[in-house]
Amino acid sequence: MVVNNNMKEQEMNTKKNTSSVILNAENLSTYFHTDQGIAKVLEGVNFSLRQGETLGIIGESGCGKSTTALSIMGLLQSPPAFIPEGHIWFKKIDLLTLSNEEKRHFRGRHIGMIFQEPMTSLNPVLTIEDQLTEPLLIHKGLGKKEAIEQVSFLLESVYIKNPKRILKEYPFALSGGMRQRVMIAMAISCAPEVLIADEPTTALDVIVQAQIIDILKELQGQENGVIIITHDLGVIAEMTDYVVVMYAGCVVEKAPVLDLFNNPLHPYTQGLLGAIPRPGMRKGTNTLIEIPGEVPNLLNFPKSCRFCNRCNKAKDICFSHLPLLKEVADKHFVACFLFE
């Protein structure tokens, strides 16, 4: 049994290594015009998502996780947002060059998204049926009857027991966990190649969170690529293959999930991992690591390492130059002058 599992894992790994890149963010920068100047919310973000892989993006609020997702989806309002440089390659297409009309065909069909707040992301005045069938009617050109049939099948796949009844309900009649299931069903309804989940479990209770994670895990096995955005290291450890750590709009470290947890290199990643109480840890015996200082203001940020003011290992060069991502071990990248 164990051998079998190992073989399976190896097979999976080779598959992942050879499988093609579906989504690739290349030097992506997203800025916002504000009254006080330009806020550089994303600066030179690079990562790629392979087929069958689950990519985790982790960081604290304001680090640009959600902006990354919205940039990929083309959902940022412009102005104030603008993307001065970079590419988002979906297979051979640069998503940033598409017109609004073309983007509309792309969203939902090729890239699905699950939002954080299931209450605000469902339309309160439409029934679940209306909302769930819409993408199938538009993207797949199905008839109403066929669509309803497929949709109830989808709801069953996210473990909703009586889909016929739920389809007639309005969002307010459903609990948070049920709404999030409906959101997941909607996101996967057109079988998109990429699924982006932006904090899919943050608004939920722990038991419901565990159920939603189980459902998302089942989706991973399929051919598509998944991007999970979260601030919860537990979710990252349970679900992802490869992790991107973001801080103040920059990628500071990216690595396969085991490498990242066993050998975090960037001082920020080390701080994040030390700051959470793990099961079994007790006050007195274990102390939580504090990261001194506050997240910097993104307005008119100087050309220096964005973490330098909070870093206890900062050198002179950290205050004058922006470190670039460098591969220090196999697929393990870190942006820090300690490793130059």
Partner 1 sequence: MHNIVLRCDSISKYFPFYTGFIRRKKKFIKAVDGISFELKRGEILGIVGESGCGKSTLARTLLLITRSTTGKIIFENQDITNFNEKALKPFRKKMSIIYQDPYASLDPRATIKSIISEPLKIHRMTKRSEIDDRVESMLEVVGLGKEAMSRFPHEFSSGQRQRINIARALILEPELLIADEPTSALDVSVQAKILNLLLKLHDKFKLSIIFISHDLSLVQYLCDSIMVVYLGQVVELAPTVGLESTLLHPYTKALWDSIPIPDPEHHKKSGKLNINEESPASIDSDSFSGCKFYHRCPNAMNKCREVIPTLTKITGGHFVRCHLYN
Binding site for partner 1 (CB under 8 A): 60-61, 175-178, 205-211, 213-214, 231-238, 257-258, 261, 271-283, 286-291, 294-295
For residues 322 and 17, what is the distance between their CA atoms, to the nearest angstrom? 30
State which amino acid sits at residue 312: N
Least gap, CB of 283 to partner 1 (angstroms): 6
Helices assigned H by DSSP within 231-320 = 233-239, 257-262, 267-275
Which is closer to partner 1, CB of 78 or CB of 162?
162
Pick 113 or 233: Cβ nearer partner 1? 233
In the bound complex, what is the minimum distance in angstroms from residue 295's beta carbon to partner 1? 8
Q: Which two tokens stand for residue 311?
A: 């870093």
Q: How far is the CB of 166 from partner 1 (least distance, A)?
A: 13
Question: Which residue in the block uniquely carries the two structure tokens 């069953």?
Answer: 156
Residue with tokens 């205050």: 319
Residue 29: what residue type?
A: S
Q: Which is nearer to partner 1, 106 or 261 (CB)?
A: 261
Which secondary structure element, helix H or strand E, spans residue 22, and what is its range? strand 21-34
Phi, psi at residue 32, to the nearest 5°? Answer: -125, 135
Count of H-run helices and E-run strands, the chain: 12, 12
* CB of 79 or CB of 279, closer to partner 1: 279
CB of 232 to partner 1, least distance (A): 6
Considering the complex, state which of residue 57 and residue 148 has its C-beta at the smaller distance from partner 1. 57
- Would the CA dihedral through 198, 204, 207, 208 be positive or negative? negative
C-beta of 65: minimal distance to partner 1 in Å? 12
Place of tokens 């009309």: 101
How far does the chain reach from its first CA to its final CA, in angstroms?
Answer: 44
Q: Which is nearer to partner 1, 222 or 286 (CB)?
A: 286
Q: Determine contact, residues 277/295, Cβ cutoff 8 Å.
A: no
Sheet holding 81-90, edge to edge: 37-50, 21-34, 81-90, 93-94
Residue 16 corresponds to which tokens in the numbers above? 């992942």
Which one, 143 or 293, has the nearer CB to partner 1? 293
Q: Which is nearer to partner 1, 61 or 100 (CB)?
A: 61
**Distance between CA 310 and CA 319 in Å, rounded?**
11
Cβ 262 to partner 1, closest distance in Å? Answer: 8
CB atoms within 10 A of CB 128: 27
We find the least distance from the C-beta atom of residue 289 to partner 1, in angstroms, to be 6
At 331, list the tokens.
């697929």
Residue 260 beta carbon to partner 1: minimum distance, rounded to whole angstroms: 8
CB of 208 to partner 1, least distance (A): 6
Strands 37-50 and 326-329: unpaired
Q: Which is nearer to partner 1, 53 or 193 (CB)?
A: 53
Q: Do 244 and 251 touch, CB atoms closer than 8 A?
A: yes
